């Protein structure tokens, strides 16, 4: 994995930790809790609705029982009247007027709408209100039952004409204008004229044992007392939440014939009709309706049940219900409270969760950034997080500590590296120096070898030459004595011969001196430099006189040197002769001596300077080589090398400085005589 890839992997990891932490922090609050709340709310809503339905079902049961009880009650009263001694006496007697009066009295007492006695032939024996229409229908199932000796009570539907025959007031009361109602089944009818009657019949016996029936009726159309009683019974004060309203209704077919549902402030919704849906469920299918329904002008939690007449036919409905709006309102308020509470909780807790999450991922990101910085070369980068006692804080602290150690080690490594470099440089320099010394030594060695070889040869040759020269010199002397009288004739030739032989012997001596200097070492004595210099000058006078050369002397040396006098003279003479040779056209020769220390050793220095031709640096490099000369015939090239050998043997040193065309200075340093 490359460095870059590693870094990016690290940082995505960092980001994903951040996202995962945020998810951990926010998921429960923003996703799981809302989901749970949603489930709870839906469930609550279901239960709430079920509870409402169950309540309205209970209400319907009460209303139903009241209706049943009412029927029973009416039946009992009529039966009691039928069994009363007075009634029996009157019905068996002949006094119809008195029977009529009793019926009238009892009808009012029992708040009935009609009360009559009829025989099996269908004739009205007595009635209240008084009617004796022969056309009235008496063949009702309840009447049949009573004639057969069984008291019976049921709800029956009377046609308007039938009511009118009993009492015009009843017919009038039963009549209701239909009010157009939205959602109801469309109809052409303009009014409902039929009457819904609590129909009760009780068996009685006429004189002679003929069976008869005491029949009573209570018209329910617009019987507001009846419906208000039901309503009060079902919805006692404070049995519903504030703003809700209990309602009860009796339907004849689908028309409200008795209700406390209001159209407006005071007008009851009589004549309005039930919705098509309810009608189909209850009247047509005979089922109980338990649901929210639109009643007249608002939504009600409603319960409808069919009313069956004595023929077993569904003729109407009993309804109870209460206004849904307050419950809906209460439900919405509850939901709103929950939602608001949730939002408040979320708003309050999410920042806390986020802060906690941040307290975790911030240090992690900081550490990642720090590591990236360090990786990209900034060794000084640190997390610098405040000291925290949690694990992440401790990890960050450890990281900083590790980075400190890393930086310290890096620093030490660098230092060490620099030190190593310095050492390597130093060693390299030393090596170069050693190399150069080695080169020089090698050169010296080769030279020494060469010199040694040359020395051996030269010494041999010189010895071999010395003897012939001695023989030649001896013979020349013999010849001279023999020719004593004729000497003058060959004086010049003899002198030339002497000179040349001398020169040969000089060269041979020098050669020997160069080849085997130790054999020539004489006594070593202490000398003052200026004395030695002064002794040398006469030796070269003849050369000085040839060219116009001024001699300048500066004798400043106070110290003495320890050296063989002849040797020192020889060195100085060599140098002076060279200087004179370098100034063929004259010049100035400066001879100087002074006390001087070399490498901390006391000594003195003798300088021989000329204003002659000088030397090139190439020449300078070779002047101490034996046999090196630029003077062709004249020179031997041995002067400087012999001088150097002599001086070195004495622990001294010889240097040359020269500038072509300007002159040369040779310096001889010799240690002070102890």
Which of 258, 302, 578, 641 binds Mg ion (CB under 5 A)? It is: 578
Q: How far apart are CA 511 and CA 321, in angstroms?
A: 158
Binding site partner of 82, from ligand ADP, Mg ion, none, Cβ cut-off 5-8 A by kind: none
Binding site partner of 612, from ligand ADP, Mg ion, none, Cβ cut-off 5-8 A by kind: ligand ADP
Q: Say if CB 214 and CB 81 are below 8 A apart.
A: yes
Q: How far apart are CA 308 and CA 311, in angstroms?
A: 8
* Token representation of residue 58: 């209970």
Helix (H) or strand (E) holding 120, with range, is none
155 or 579: CB nearest ligand ADP: 579
Which of 593, 650, 664, 667 binds ligand ADP (CB under 6 A)? It is: 664
Q: How far apart are CA 664 and CA 619, in angstroms?
A: 12
Q: How far apart are CA 351 and CA 579, in angstroms?
A: 106
Residue 643 binds Mg ion (CB under 5 A): no
Q: What is residue 671's three-state secondary structure?
A: strand
Q: Say if CB 577 and CB 594 are below 8 A apart.
A: no
DSSP structural state of residue 185: P
Q: How far apart are CA 44 and CA 37, in angstroms?
A: 10
Q: What is residue 449's three-state secondary structure?
A: helix
310 or 574: CB nearest ligand ADP: 574
Which of 640, 646, 647, 668 binds ligand ADP (CB under 6 A)? It is: 640
Strands (E), 220-364: 246-252, 255-259, 289-295, 298-308, 314-323
Longest dimension (CA), the chain: 246
Piece in contact with Mg ion (CB under 5 A), picked from 145-153, 338-346, 364-372, 639-647:
639-647
Which of 28, 129, 397, 637 binds ligand ADP (CB under 6 A)? It is: 637
Binding track over 571-590 against ligand ADP, x by CB under 6 A: ---x---xx--x--------
Residue 636 binds ligand ADP (CB under 6 A): yes
CB atoms within 10 A of CB 492: 9
Binding site partner of 129, from Mg ion, ligand ADP, none, Cβ cut-off 5-8 A by kind: none
455 or 639: CB nearest Mg ion: 639
Residue 403 binds ligand ADP (CB under 6 A): no
Q: Which H, E and C letters describe 500-513, residue by residue?
A: HHHHHHHHHHHHHH
Size of the site for ligand ADP (CB under 6 A): 21
Q: Say if CB 141 and CB 113 are below 8 A apart.
A: no
- The end-to-end CA distance of the chain, in Å, is 81
* Cross-strand bridge partners of residue 309: 155
Binding site partner of 163, from Mg ion, ligand ADP, none, Cβ cut-off 5-8 A by kind: none
Q: Say if CB 130 and CB 103 are below 8 A apart.
A: no
Residue 306 binds Mg ion (CB under 5 A): no
Chain centre to alpha carbon of residue 519: 97
Residue 639 binds ligand ADP (CB under 6 A): yes
Q: Say if CB 326 and CB 242 are below 8 A apart.
A: yes
Binding site partner of 326, from ligand ADP, Mg ion, none, Cβ cut-off 5-8 A by kind: none
Piece in contact with ligand ADP (CB under 6 A), picked from 316-324, 447-455, 471-479, 632-640:
632-640
- Footprint of ligand ADP on 189-218 (CB under 6 A): none
Cβ of residue 621: shortest distance to ligand ADP, in angstroms? 11
Residue 145 binds Mg ion (CB under 5 A): no
Binding site partner of 90, from Mg ion, ligand ADP, none, Cβ cut-off 5-8 A by kind: none
Nearest 5°: the CA angle 203, 206, 211 is 45
Binding site partner of 615, from ligand ADP, Mg ion, none, Cβ cut-off 5-8 A by kind: ligand ADP
Q: How far apart are CA 426 and CA 410, in angstroms?
A: 24
Q: Say if CB 82 and CB 212 are below 8 A apart.
A: no
* Token representation of residue 178: 């239909």
Residue 639 binds Mg ion (CB under 5 A): yes
Binding site partner of 49, from Mg ion, ligand ADP, none, Cβ cut-off 5-8 A by kind: none
Cis amide leading into 278 (omega within 30): no
216 or 641: CB nearest Mg ion: 641
Residue 626 binds Mg ion (CB under 5 A): no
Backbone angles phi, psi at 376, to 5 degrees: -85, 10
Cβ of residue 666: shortest distance to ligand ADP, in angstroms? 7
Binding site partner of 668, from ligand ADP, Mg ion, none, Cβ cut-off 5-8 A by kind: none
For 47-112, give the DSSP string.
Answer: HHHHHHHHHHHHHHHHHHHHHHHHHHHHHHHHHHHHH-HHHHHHHHSS-HHHHHHHHHHHHHHTT-
Binding site partner of 630, from Mg ion, ligand ADP, none, Cβ cut-off 5-8 A by kind: ligand ADP
Residue 258 binds Mg ion (CB under 5 A): no
Residue 629 binds ligand ADP (CB under 6 A): yes
Binding site partner of 393, from Mg ion, ligand ADP, none, Cβ cut-off 5-8 A by kind: none
Cβ of residue 630: shortest distance to ligand ADP, in angstroms? 3
152 or 667: CB nearest ligand ADP: 667
Piece in contact with ligand ADP (CB under 6 A), picked from 18-26, 94-102, 294-302, 607-615:
607-615
258 or 574: CB nearest ligand ADP: 574
Residue 613 binds ligand ADP (CB under 6 A): yes
Residue 662 binds ligand ADP (CB under 6 A): no
Residues engaged in binding ligand ADP (CB under 6 A): 574, 578-579, 582, 610, 612-613, 615, 619, 623, 628-631, 635-640, 664
For Mg ion, the binding residues (CB under 5 A) are 578, 639
């Amino acid at each position: 994995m490359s460095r870059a890839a590693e870094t990016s992997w690290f940082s995505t990891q960092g980001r994903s930790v951040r996202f995962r932490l945020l998810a951990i922090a926010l998921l429960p609050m923003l996703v799981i809790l809302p989901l749970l709340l949603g489930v709870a709310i839906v469930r609550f809503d279901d239960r709430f609705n079920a509870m409402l339905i169950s309540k309205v079902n209970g209400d319907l049961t009460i209303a139903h029982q009241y209706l049943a009880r009412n029927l029973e009650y009416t039946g009992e009263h009529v039966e009691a009247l039928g069994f009363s001694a007075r009634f029996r006496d009157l019905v068996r007697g002949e006094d119809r007027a008195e029977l009529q009066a009793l019926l009238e009295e009892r009808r009012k007492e029992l708040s009935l709408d009609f009360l009559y006695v009829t025989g099996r032939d269908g004739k009205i024996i007595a009635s209240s209100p008084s009617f004796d229409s022969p056309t009235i229908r008496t063949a009702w199932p309840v009447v049949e039952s009573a004639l057969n000796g069984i008291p019976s009570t049921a709800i029956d539907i009377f046609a308007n004409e039938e009511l009118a025959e009993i009492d015009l007031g009843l017919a009038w009361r039963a009549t209701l204008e239909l009010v157009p109602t939205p959602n109801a089944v469309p109809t052409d009818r303009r009014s409902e004229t039929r009457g819904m009657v609590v129909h009760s019949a009780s068996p009685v016996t006429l004189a002679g044992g003929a069976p008869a029936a005491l029949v009573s009726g209570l018209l329910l159309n617009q019987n507001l007392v009846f419906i208000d009683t039901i309503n009060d019974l079902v919805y006692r004060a404070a049995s519903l939440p504030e703003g809700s309203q209990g309602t009860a209704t009796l339907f004849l077919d689908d028309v409200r014939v008795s209700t406390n549902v209001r159209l407006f402030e005071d007008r009851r919704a009589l004549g309005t009709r039930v919705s098509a849906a309810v009608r189909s469920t209850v009247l047509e299918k005979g089922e109980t309706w338990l649901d929210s329904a639109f009643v007249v002008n608002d939504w009600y939690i409603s319960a409808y049940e069919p009313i069956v007449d004595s023929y077993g036919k569904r003729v109407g409905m009993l309804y109870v219900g209460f206004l849904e709006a307050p419950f809906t309102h209460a439900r919405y308020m509850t939901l709103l409270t929950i939602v608001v509470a949730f939002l408040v909780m979320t708003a309050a807790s999410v920042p806390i969760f986020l802060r906690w999450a941040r307290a975790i991922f911030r240090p992690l990101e900081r550490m990642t950034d720090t590591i990236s910085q360090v990786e990209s070369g900034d060794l000084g980068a640190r997390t610098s997080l405040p000291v925290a006692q949690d694990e992440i804080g401790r990890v960050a602290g450890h990281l900083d500590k590790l980075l400190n150690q890393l930086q310290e080690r890096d620093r030490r490594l660098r230092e060490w590296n620099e030190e190593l470099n310095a050492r390597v440089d130093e060693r390299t320099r030393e090596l170069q120096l050693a190399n150069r010394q080695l080169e020089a030594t090698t050169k010296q060695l080769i030279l020494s070898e060469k010199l040694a070889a040359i020395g051996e040869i030269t010494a041999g040759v010189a010895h071999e030459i010395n003897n012939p020269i001695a023989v030649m010199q001896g013979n020349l002397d013999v010849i001279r004595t023999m020719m004593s009288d004729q000497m003058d004739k060959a004086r010049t030739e003899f002198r030339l011969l002497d000179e040349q032989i001398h020169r040969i012997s000089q060269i041979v001596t020098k050669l020997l001196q160069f080849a085997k200097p130790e054999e020539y070492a004489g006594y070593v004595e202490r000398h003052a430099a200026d004395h030695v210099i002064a002794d040398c000058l006469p030796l070269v006078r003849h050369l000085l006189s040839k060219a116009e050369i001024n001699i300048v002397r500066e004798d400043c040396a106070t110290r003495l040197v320890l050296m063989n006098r002849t040797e020192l003279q020889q060195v100085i003479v060599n140098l002076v002769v060279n200087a004179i040779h370098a100034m063929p056209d004259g010049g100035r020769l400066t001879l100087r001596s002074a006390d001087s220390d070399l490498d901390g050793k006391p000594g003195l220095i003798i300088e021989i300077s000329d204003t002659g031709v000088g030397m090139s640096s190439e020449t300078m490099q070779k002047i101490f080589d034996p046999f090196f000369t630029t003077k062709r015939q004249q020179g031997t090239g041995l002067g400087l090398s012999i001088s150097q050998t002599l001086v070195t043997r004495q622990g001294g040193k010889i240097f040359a400085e020269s500038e072509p065309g300007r002159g040369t200075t040779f310096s001889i340093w010799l240690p002070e005589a102890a």
